[in-house]
Amino acid sequence: MLNLWTRLGNKLRYLVRPGRIDRDLAEELEIHRDMLREDEERLGASRGAAALLARRRMGNTPLMIEYSRDAWVTRWLDTLVRDLRYALRSFVRSPGFTLTALITLALGIGANTAIFTILNSVLLRPLPYADPERLVMVWGLNERQAAVRPSGLIEGDVFDIRREARSFSQLEAFQANLVPITMRVGSTAFQAQAVSLTPGTFALLGRQAILGRSLQEGDRLAIVLGYGYWQRQFGGDRAVVGRQVTVGTTPATIVGVMPRDFAFPYRSMLLASVSFTRDADVDVWVPMTLQPRRPNDALRIVGAVARLAPGVTVEQARADVGAIGTRLAAEYPATNAGWGAIVSPPHDHVVAGVRPVLWLLAAGVGLVLLMACVNVANLLLARSVRRQREMAIRSAVGAARGRLLRQTLTESALLTAIGAALSWIVVEWLTRSFVLLAPSEIPRLAEVSPDWRVGIYTLLLALVTAIAAGWLPALASSRVDLQTRLTDASRGPASTRGARLRSLLVVAEVTLAVVLAFGTGLLVRSFVAVLNVDPGFETSHVLSVQVTTPRAYGTPEKRREFYRRLFARLEALPGVTAVGGTTRLPLGGADSNTRIAVEGRDTAHGAFDVGLRRAMHEYFTAMQIPIVRGRGFTAADGADAPPVVLVNQALAARVFPGENPIGRRMTLADNAGIGTATVIGIVGDVRHGGLESAPEPEVYIHYLQNPPSSPLIVVRTSGNPAALAGAVRAAVKEVDASVPLFDMKTLAELRTASMTERRFITWLALIVGAVALVLAMVGVYGVMAVAVGERTQEMGIRIALGADPRMLLALVVRQGVALAAVGIAAGAAISLVVAPLLATQLYGVAPRDPITFAGVPLVLLAAAAAACAIPAWRAARVDPVTALRN
């Protein structure tokens, strides 16, 4: 064992300084010869004879040095160095081939590494908390709902679970909503997205502030800033810690700033899936105090995060919390009937939604890399045909077959190694663009960074690529038929076997391209389907803006009066046709829920959790949401009038199947603020959760009966809504200059923004599909170009014999297209089988969509024909004289 190390060390020393040992040896041999000669002279030989004798005895000195070197250098290493040098020389000699192969490989490996970097950061790495495996989330679960989607808990539930659960060493609560707040520093007002949480959460998660401190037990009037907000609003000013601010109406102190990669709660832990908000976009953390149960509080907006007590498994915690949930449901049927409590690991919760997208994307770029391998293999093969004579000669002078095989593999390995090195430029660029352009639905983007896993992945990928691209060409080039090659390497119907192999590779490549093109086609079709979704309201010609009423409007009366004047002023603007307002805009805006109990039914069958919406003034007219039955709200439905509600069609169908809901009475939970109300009409369904999610049951209350304090005003105009922005701003200022405006946008913009994720996926699919198409075309082109090149003589003879050049053109195109057709058929067959894998990503289109299945083959056929154009044109243009002379 010891000897092995000595030997290895000595050999390494030789590798570092080979010249020294060779020189020593040469000098030594010279001295040896001199000694021999002197001895011969002493024995009486003449000077010349002695020298001759000595030389003869020494024999072949260079060879001896060579053999001596064998002791130092392992043979394979020496061969490797030689092969590498040879490969490098041959790359320099054919720059076109080298460049094409390198770019293909760099892009292929780069795209895969980039996707893996993201996949690794988002899906594989644990969440950036201390000991994240021991953390769990606690949620509520509506047992009556078909889809298992966790929802929030009532604050009192969390209070009881925290007190009773034995499975946790610590449990902390947070409001699972981003709350827009107004923060005043001196005289400047900032808008911020706040999350309130129990102060112990930071200690539970084990993350420190990068500046100042995080929240601690007992904090009441302290707030902590998010890194992004600190940078944006305060320019990264370190003096911000300790500054006094007012949050809403409460004074508070900024005590610290959290690091950039800290996110809690993650976007997917929020109940209202707040669109256009990234994970790390919590601007401010505000302390909350967990209150015991209040009667009739049914608001399910609190989430909990907990650390498992030592030795407790997730399963045990699940049973523990589940039992408490069951007990609470029995004890408080008014608010908890049908509700349970569940425990789930936070990582699952965060990444579950994005997992299929990322894996599909990884599969897509994986296939692209496979195509790149096939292309490089084809290039190597085409080159090895040209080098067959060289290989044959080397084989004839005694190069072993394994040696030739190794040489070709070395070339593909060197190409891949350089390609992989170059790919890092692509990786950097691709990863950054992805993070920048990705929609907020993809979690943990702030945490994307390469690590050791990415390094190992790239190495493995390069190794696999080198073998995939090199083994076929290596096998083909090492199997040299000496006689035919030496006598005739460049003429005649050369290398039919090589040609067949190349054709096979191209067929495989087209097959892969077809599979990818089908995926792209289906996603593009889904995109179009989403574009055509009717959201239930008219998005054109509407401007929306959020107004926040200051403290002066503390009572409902004052707010009613303010809105009356505001709407009157806005209606007077030229071009304005209708003005209204609501508290939650449709299409992926924030959500808010309430619980209704239908009068005359028992709690088990009469209670439903539904969306709570507010309609202000002429909201339905401004949005063009139809009243399908009954009547809409009027000014007569005021504060002193009997409470009334409108329900949407989904609610009517769910709660009152086969009945007429109009005139029925229902009691709403406290958060609606109107008690028991009568249904006066049914309005059309609106896609509240986004274009791709079906309408949910919703109940609308009238703003005069519970005036909101921070509504979204919508203004319909006959002209361009964006042009109205200045006028609206001025109008609000006229009514009250102290009312701040936020977030002015047109509903058309809202609709566009709500499609960000769909658009992003479609773009990715288009890029992957386009690259696949180009690679397939390059493959077809390459094979046809080589085929035409090999048959130049034959073409010449045909033309000399009077063949029509157009026929030759058709011949080449026909061959290329026939090749592609085989691949297309195979690809279509495979796609039929694998298309359902894509089902979760599709919208409004079946996985085996006939239009896609008809269109993709046509596109591929056209592409194949186009790829044959240049070789075909070259074939038709062959000059018979030159062709025959060669």
Partner 1 sequence: MRNKASISSELLPGTLEMLILKTLSRRAAHGYGIARHLEQVSADVLQVGESSLYPALQRLLVNGWVTAEWGETDTGRRARFYRITAAGRKRLAAEAAGFERVVGAIAAIMQEG
Nearer to partner 1, 14 or 276 (CB): 14
Nearer to partner 1, 60 or 187 (CB): 60
Nearer to partner 1, 4 or 636 (CB): 4
CB 480 to partner 1: min, Å:
21
Secondary structure element (H or E) that encloses residue 350, with its range: helix 346-351
Nearer to partner 1, 38 or 602 (CB): 38
Asked if 171 and 343 touch (Cβ cutoff 8 Å), the reply is: no
Specify the stretch interacting with partner 1 by CB under 8 A; choose among 4-12, 377-385, 423-431, 709-717. Answer: 4-12
Buried b (16+ CB within 10 A) or exposed e, 574-606: eebebbbbbbbbbbbbbbbbbbbbbeeeeeeee
What is the rounded CA–CA span in Å between residue 358 and residue 116?
9
What is the rounded CA–CA span in Å between residue 263 and residue 285?
11
What is the rounded CA–CA span in Å between residue 64 and residue 788?
51
Asked if 508 and 500 touch (Cβ cutoff 8 Å), the reply is: no
CB 405 to partner 1: min, Å:
18
With CA atoms as reference, report the closest residue to 682 among 664, 669, 667.
664
Nearer to partner 1, 400 or 723 (CB): 400
CB 10 to partner 1: min, Å:
5
Which residue in the set 25, 323, 417, 744 belongs to the binding site for partner 1 (CB under 8 A)?
Answer: 25
- Among positions 26-85, residues that touch partner 1 (CB under 8 A) are 27-29, 31-32, 35-36, 57-60, 63-64, 67-72, 75
Both tokens assigned to 720: 């361009």
CB 409 to partner 1: min, Å:
21
Nearer to partner 1, 32 or 629 (CB): 32
Q: Residue count at the site for partner 1 (CB under 8 A)?
A: 28
Secondary structure element (H or E) that encloses residue 135, with its range: strand 135-142
CB 404 to partner 1: min, Å:
18
CB 403 to partner 1: min, Å:
13
CB 401 to partner 1: min, Å:
16
Buried b (16+ CB within 10 A) or exposed e, 443-463: bbbbbbebeeebeebbeebbe
Nearer to partner 1, 31 or 147 (CB): 31
With CA atoms as reference, report the closest residue to 295 among 156, 161, 174.
156
Q: Does 3 contact partner 1 by CB under 8 A?
A: yes
Nearer to partner 1, 24 or 602 (CB): 24
- Per the rule left: phi > 0, alpha: psi between -120 and 50, beta: everything else, 248 is left
Q: Does 7 contact partner 1 by CB under 8 A?
A: yes
Q: Where are the alpha helices (DSSP H) in 663-755?
A: 725-735, 747-754
CB 58 to partner 1: min, Å:
5
CB 309 to partner 1: min, Å:
59
Both tokens assigned to 870: 């240049």
Please list the helix, strand and coil fractions of the chain in percent, rounded to the nearest 5, in that order.
Answer: 55, 15, 25
CB 46 to partner 1: min, Å:
21
Nearer to partner 1, 57 or 491 (CB): 57
CB 65 to partner 1: min, Å:
8
Q: Give the alpha-carbon dihedral of 511, 512, 513, 519, to 10 degrees.
A: 110
Asked if 156 and 291 touch (Cβ cutoff 8 Å), the reply is: yes
With CA atoms as reference, report the closest residue to 341 among 170, 161, 166.
161
Buried b (16+ CB within 10 A) or exposed e, 833-844: eebeebeebbbe
- Among positions 490-519, residues that touch partner 1 (CB under 8 A) are none
Nearer to partner 1, 11 or 389 (CB): 11
Nearer to partner 1, 6 or 532 (CB): 6
Distance set, CA 725 to CA 327, 526, 573, 718, 807 (Å): 54, 34, 11, 14, 66
CB 51 to partner 1: min, Å:
15
CB 397 to partner 1: min, Å:
14
Strand-pair partners of 415? none
Nearer to partner 1, 8 or 832 (CB): 8
Return the HEC string of 144-170.
CCCCCCCECEEHHHHHHHHHHCCCEEE
x/- letters, 437..476, toward partner 1 (CB under 8 A): ----------------------------------------
Specify the stretch interacting with partner 1 by CB under 8 A; choose among 22-30, 453-461, 572-580, 585-593. Answer: 22-30
Nearer to partner 1, 51 or 274 (CB): 51
DSSP conformational letter for 174: E
Asked if 768 and 368 touch (Cβ cutoff 8 Å), the reply is: yes
Q: Does 15 contact partner 1 by CB under 8 A?
A: no
CB 60 to partner 1: min, Å:
7
CB 33 to partner 1: min, Å:
8
Nearer to partner 1, 36 or 542 (CB): 36
Secondary structure element (H or E) that encloses residue 577, with its range: strand 576-582
Which residue in the set 17, 18, 23, 24 belongs to the binding site for partner 1 (CB under 8 A)?
Answer: 24
Distance set, CA 219 to CA 16, 172, 881 (Å): 64, 14, 94
Nearer to partner 1, 42 or 89 (CB): 42
With CA atoms as reference, report the closest residue to 706 among 660, 736, 731, 670.
670
Distance set, CA 450 to CA 112, 265, 424, 440, 444 (Å): 13, 24, 11, 21, 14
Query: Which residues of this protein are in contact with partner 1, per CB under 8 A?
Result: 3, 6-7, 10-11, 14, 24-25, 27-29, 31-32, 35-36, 57-60, 63-64, 67-72, 75
